[in-house]
Chains A and B, each alone.
Chain A
Amino acid sequence: MSVRISRRRRAAIAGISLLALGLAACSGGGGSDTAEGKPLPTITGNPAVTLNVFAPQSADTNLATNDFTKLIKQKFNLTIKWQTTTFDGGPSKEKRQISLASGDYPDLYLLIPWVDQFTTAELLKLGNQGVVVPLNQLIDQYAPNIKKALDSTPEWKAMATAPDGKIYGMPQWVDCFHCSYPDKLWMNSAWLKKLGLEQPKTTEDLRKVLQAFKTQDPNGNGKADEIPISANVRDNLIPYFMNAFIYDPQGQNNSGGNNTTLVLNNGKVDVQANKDGWREGLRYINSLYKEGLIDKGAFTQNPDAMQQQGNHGGSVILGAGTVMHSGIFVTVGSADGRDQQYDAVPPLTGPSGANYASYVFPSIPGATFVLTSKATPEKQIQAIKMLDYIFTDEGENNGQFGLEGKAWTKPGPGDVALDESLKPSFKQIPLKPGSKPRNSGWGALAQYNNTAKYRNSEVIDTNTHSQAGYERKLFDATKLYAGHEDKAQIYPFWKVWIDPSLANETATLQTNLENYIQQNSLQFVTGSKNIDTDWDSYVKGLDGLGLKRYLEIQQTAYDKVPNK
């Protein structure tokens, strides 16, 4: 249910956004060709500049009195006037769009991708209207670190650059290793040991393990209260299993991912959801469901409800969960240590030998740092200098976590980086639970140059059982999945810029197809549709929703991607 509602809400928001864009056309505007052609003024030193910045502010931060805000003032003589919004994605988007539509927009939007950011379609439209200022020239003249970062990370550059070669806004680059493989299976190893079983390797092994969990009382309380496997609406149960039959590119439900299951077949864009392998996968999951091995709430409950299963008072009752990391269903550092019972299970091998893992591109295409025509050239230059500082490792640490010595330190002797082959470069100072928030950094607002090298050279506790070593546990677990993605089939949607005149149509088609695939998958799994008799009409239904047109649009856009 909640999946459906959230999709509908998304559609509604998309509608409002188009309205807002339309209105921006009449009321917005202003100096449209300020940034084009004319060379930028040369600025030496840091003139005093006041910048109006629109940004989401979380409940534990006060941006106006924040340490990093003061540091920026000190370093660049830049006074920021914050126009804040909340972390609530939908309303936050509305507020941003109203600000654009009313012409009352700030100098700079500084956003967080998973709260709300500019979509590629919005960037193209607003760029054409001159509301959004391209960053190319600014970067070339004033931001050596940004230039270097983009040049050394071609995927990022491709994601940020519009088909006309302009960079209308800067997206965040967060190369989070464990997030790239979100569809993991976390299974209770203590139960396996007690029942004398091994981690399952094939789909049939898994069935036997789940049967044993259900019937042989692994928690030893004499009651048949065990839930063999569960999931929640945000961590879809299907992809992990589907990957034992066919490569499933879906990933987590709201990661901005690829829920229409787009893949590449020798350069042709296609979907997986109407293939025979997909059908076999659904047949298998349905057979588990029929045996009562999958929790009935797995497809409808929210993460909070799943936490209640994982943290269940008294005996442990949850056998396994298909979630990105086990902290989603069990409190890390729990009093009875039950969170340490859960370990990741590598991708299963299906009857036909398929053994994939979903790969999800960890950054979200669009832009979070967007300068507008309200900013004078002087303001633009100071703003890009600020971003350039955030692109350095030191600036990134200060920006994300807070000041050195307060929120992070240089590594000491004996400290080990997350990726042990790298030299450790920084170490966060953990905040005691329940203590006052530090208000020292900007958090995700300053998370830009998060390359794999930067992230993986952070010092993390080597004790993977402790809360401080949790990131390492995830890093190690993810190694079980990495490399199992089907590289040839991955559709690089992050590099594909859909023509803005087709953006509306594409969004509608995509929403309809996503809903249809999602709903029918669930109906096949839960048995309200019969996999043998209803399959053909399901496939026809996909065509009826405009699958052909959708693939055609994607193909045309994909063909225009310069460096595939």
Chain B
Amino acid sequence: MFCVYLLLAVLLAVVLLPLLYIVASSFSSPEAVSGGRVLLWPVDFSLRGYHAVFANPQIIQGYLNSLFYTVVGTIVSVTMTIAIAYPLSRRTLVGRNVVMTLILFTMLFTGGLIPTYLVVQSVGLLDTRWALIIPQAIGVWQVIIARTYFRTAIPDELIEASQLDGCGDLRFLWSVVIPLAKPMIAVVTLMYAIMQWNSYFDALIYLKNPDLYPLQLVLRNILILNTTGGGAVDASVMLQRQQMADLLKYSLIVVASVPVLLIYPFVARYFTKGILIGAVKG
């Protein structure tokens, strides 16, 4: 028993220490951070980093964009996932194996970057907010979890009973299935939300208008400020960029992580339940 706790404590430390370091650094002066004086407690307490973050219009705009992508994207994704997973879980649906195979196929083979781009372009999504929401709306993994959950947690007897009471399919989905599937929905929602919040590559490829950039893209652009640049960068420019990056780096990471850290505790209690039902009994 002791060994287990020791092991878990070590694991906790491995995960927690870098987090604490980032938080402590974000409240320290940039000089103290680059001098290596910050460990787990702020040195030369300073809020300059946070001032700079909230003074930068690109960061604020990016933050709002990310919130939009996360909220709208998650709602769309969860709705679509339930809409496809529930019918597939019903044994009475003809051809469900074919549909499922097609879905699984995309897990192994994808069209690749350029063809996907061409599709997004030809349906006119390029450089719109929907380019970040629609192409990624359904995750195969989440569909499998949802389908398995529906299959195991909703007994056929329930359907028969509801049908006897004169309940249609939609009503059954809304009044019986969804309330019963809350833990799974919570898990899937969390997965989609985190995916949307963290994603930057789609935005990088599909967006051209900087006003639509999500936070992660802005964040990345700032974090790489002092790592790019080869021989021919002016020293004075480099010094300026370095100062800006030093100032913003840690506070920006904290600001960008807060929403995820906030929603996680509320969903965490469903997590084990949802994942286990989705995976083990499948």
Give the B-binding residues of A (Cβ under 8 A): 16, 19-20, 23, 27, 54, 57-60, 62-64, 82-89, 91, 94-95, 98, 101-102, 104, 113-115, 174, 176, 178-179, 182, 251-252, 254-257, 302-304, 307-309, 311-314, 324-325, 327, 331-332, 334-335, 360, 362-364, 431, 433-434, 436, 443-444, 467, 470-471, 474
Q: List, sorted by A's number, 13 A–B pairs whose CB atoms are closer than 8 Å.
A: A62-B210, A64-B210, A86-B221, A101-B114, A102-B121, A115-B228, A304-B34, A311-B36, A364-B230, A444-B237, A470-B235, A470-B239, A474-B235
Q: Which residues does chain A contribute within 8 Å of B269, judged by CB atoms? A: none
Tell which of B6-14, B156-164, B178-186, B200-208 binds the partner: B200-208
Given known contacts A86-B221, A434-B48, A255 and B230 CB-to-CB distance under 8 angstroms = yes
A58 touches B204 (CB 8 A): no
Given contacts A20-B114, A88-B221, 8 further A-B contacts (CB under 8 A): A59-B56, A62-B58, A83-B127, A98-B117, A102-B117, A114-B230, A303-B226, A467-B239
A54 to B127, CA, bound (A): 13
A129 to B38, CA, bound (A): 56
Tell which of B144-152, B165-173, B240-248, B256-264 binds the partner: B240-248
Partner of B114, one of A23, A83, A312, A327: A23
B37 contacts chain A at the CB level, 8 A cutoff: yes
Top 8 nearest A-B pairs by Cβ distance?
A: A255-B231, A313-B37, A83-B208, A308-B36, A313-B35, A311-B35, A255-B230, A59-B222
Residue of chain B at shortest CB distance from A255: B231
Partner of A91, one of B127, B201, B232: B201
B220 contacts chain A at the CB level, 8 A cutoff: yes
B76 contacts chain A at the CB level, 8 A cutoff: no
A433 to B52, CA, bound (A): 11
Q: Which residues does chain A contribute within 8 Å of B238, judged by CB atoms? A: 327
A363 to B224, CA, bound (A): 22
A431 touches B201 (CB 8 A): no
Task: Tell me, rounded to whole Å, the shortest Cβ–Cβ distance linking B245 to chain A.
Answer: 9
B232 touches A113 (CB 8 A): yes
Residue of chain B at shortest CB distance from A60: B244
B34 touches A431 (CB 8 A): no
Q: Which residues does chain B contribute within 8 Å of A89, judged by CB atoms? A: 228
Given known contacts A256-B230, A433-B243, A311 and B31 CB-to-CB distance under 8 angstroms = yes
B126 touches A104 (CB 8 A): yes
Residue of chain A at shortest CB distance from B55: A436
A95 touches B35 (CB 8 A): no
A308 touches B34 (CB 8 A): yes
B229 contacts chain A at the CB level, 8 A cutoff: yes
A486 to B36, CA, bound (A): 40
A431 to B239, CA, bound (A): 12
Q: Which residues does chain B contribute within 8 Å of A431, judged by CB atoms? A: 240
A114 touches B233 (CB 8 A): yes
A64 to B247, CA, bound (A): 25
A158 to B212, CA, bound (A): 41
B208 touches A471 (CB 8 A): no
Given known contacts A59-B58, A98-B205, A254-B230, A327 and B239 CB-to-CB distance under 8 angstroms = yes
A60 to B222, CA, bound (A): 8
B225 touches A58 (CB 8 A): yes
- Docked complex: B35-57 residues within 8 A CB-CB of A: 35-37, 48, 52, 55-57
Q: Which residues does chain B contribute within 8 Å of A362, judged by CB atoms? A: 231-232
Q: Which residues does chain A contribute within 8 Å of B226, judged by CB atoms? A: 303
A470 to B37, CA, bound (A): 26
Partner of B221, one of A59, A62, A313: A59
A332 touches B239 (CB 8 A): yes
Partner of A256, one of B36, B58, B231, B239: B231
B205 touches A94 (CB 8 A): yes
Task: Tell me, rounded to whole Å, the shortest Cβ–Cβ distance linking A54 to chain B.
Answer: 8
- Docked complex: B55-84 residues within 8 A CB-CB of A: 55-58
Q: Which residues does chain A contribute within 8 Å of B229, judged by CB atoms? A: 114
Task: Tell me, rounded to whole Å, the shortest Cβ–Cβ distance linking B160 to chain A.
Answer: 52
A57 touches B114 (CB 8 A): no
- Docked complex: B81-129 residues within 8 A CB-CB of A: 113-114, 117-118, 121, 126-127
B190 contacts chain A at the CB level, 8 A cutoff: no
Residue of chain B at shortest CB distance from A362: B232
B24 contacts chain A at the CB level, 8 A cutoff: no
A251 touches B231 (CB 8 A): yes
Interface centre among B31, B204, B239, by most A CB within 10 Å? Answer: B239
Residue of chain B at shortest CB distance from A309: B36
A88 touches B228 (CB 8 A): yes
B243 touches A98 (CB 8 A): no
Residue of chain B at shortest CB distance from A116: B228
A254 to B231, CA, bound (A): 7
B231 touches A252 (CB 8 A): yes
B227 contacts chain A at the CB level, 8 A cutoff: yes
Q: Which residues does chain B contribute within 8 Å of A443, judged by CB atoms? A: 237
Q: Which residues does chain B contribute within 8 Å of A179, judged by CB atoms? A: 231-233
Given known contacts A84-B210, A363-B232, A303 and B35 CB-to-CB distance under 8 angstroms = no
Q: Which residues does chain B contribute within 8 Å of A20, judged by CB atoms? A: 114
B255 contacts chain A at the CB level, 8 A cutoff: no
A91 touches B230 (CB 8 A): no
Residue of chain B at shortest CB distance from A253: B230
Task: Tell me, rounded to whole Å, the shortest Cβ–Cβ distance linking B21 to chain A.
Answer: 13
B140 contacts chain A at the CB level, 8 A cutoff: no
A84 to B211, CA, bound (A): 10
A311 touches B34 (CB 8 A): yes
Q: Which residues does chain B contribute within 8 Å of A101, judged by CB atoms? A: 114, 117
A363 to B230, CA, bound (A): 11
B32 contacts chain A at the CB level, 8 A cutoff: yes
Q: Which residues does chain A contribute within 8 Å of B36, judged by CB atoms? A: 308-309, 311-313
B137 contacts chain A at the CB level, 8 A cutoff: no
Given known contacts A62-B210, A311-B31, A311-B36, A257 and B240 CB-to-CB distance under 8 angstroms = no
Interface centre among B48, B227, B232, by most A CB within 10 Å? Answer: B232
A102 touches B235 (CB 8 A): no
Q: Which residues does chain A contribute within 8 Å of B232, judged by CB atoms? A: 113-114, 174, 176, 179, 255, 362-364
Q: Which residues does chain B contribute within 8 Å of A252, judged by CB atoms? A: 230-231
Partner of B204, one of A60, A85, A102: A85
**Interface bits B18-39 vs A (CB < 8 Å: 1, else 0):** 0000000000000110111100
A434 to B218, CA, bound (A): 18
A102 touches B118 (CB 8 A): yes
Q: Which residues does chain B contribute within 8 Å of A104, judged by CB atoms? A: 121, 126
Q: Which residues does chain A contribute within 8 Å of B225, judged by CB atoms? A: 58-59, 87
Task: Tell me, rounded to whole Å, the shortest Cβ–Cβ distance linking A211 to chain B.
Answer: 26
Q: Which residues does chain A contribute within 8 Å of B227, judged by CB atoms? A: 302-303
A179 to B58, CA, bound (A): 32
Given known contacts A59-B58, A91-B204, A311-B31, A324 and B231 CB-to-CB distance under 8 angstroms = yes
A57 to B230, CA, bound (A): 18
Q: Which residues does chain B contribute within 8 Å of A23, judged by CB atoms? A: 114
Q: Which residues does chain A contribute within 8 Å of B37, judged by CB atoms? A: 313-314
Interface centre among B31, B55, B114, B126, by most A CB within 10 Å? Answer: B114
A86 touches B231 (CB 8 A): no
Task: Tell me, rounded to whole Å, the shortest Cβ–Cβ distance linking B222 to chain A.
Answer: 4
Q: Which residues does chain A contribute within 8 Å of B231, judged by CB atoms? A: 176, 179, 182, 251-252, 254-257, 324, 360, 362
